[in-house]
Amino acid sequence: MFKELDPHKAQEMVEEGSVNVIDIRDPGSYSAGHIPSAVSLNDTNVKEFIEFTDKEKPLIVYCYHGISSRGAAEYLSQNGFKEVYSMTGGFEAWPD
């Protein structure tokens, strides 16, 4: 089960370095700009990510507007990640 996470709280967690951050937008959008330390996750690398990533470390998932990330967050929580967040508002809501 995942939780919703406010973008300002997400930013605090990213700055602390206490989370893994996943960007599920298309590669072009990721290349144009993404949250610091975010990893682009897609169909080609999701199995490897699940297999080799620390499932005990909190995980923040974001998309464009915070809708698609909910499904991805649920999927990752079902695949063993203990603390998964979907960032509300997506990348559009990320504080500058």
> Angle 80-29-7 (CA atoms, 0-180°, nearest 5)?
60
Among residues 60, 63, 72, 73, which one is catalytic? 63
- The single-letter DSSP state of residue 61 is E
16-34 burial: b if 16+ Cβ within 10 Å, else e:
eeebbbbbbbeeeebeeeb
Annotated active-site residue 76? The verdict is no
Active site residue ranges: 63
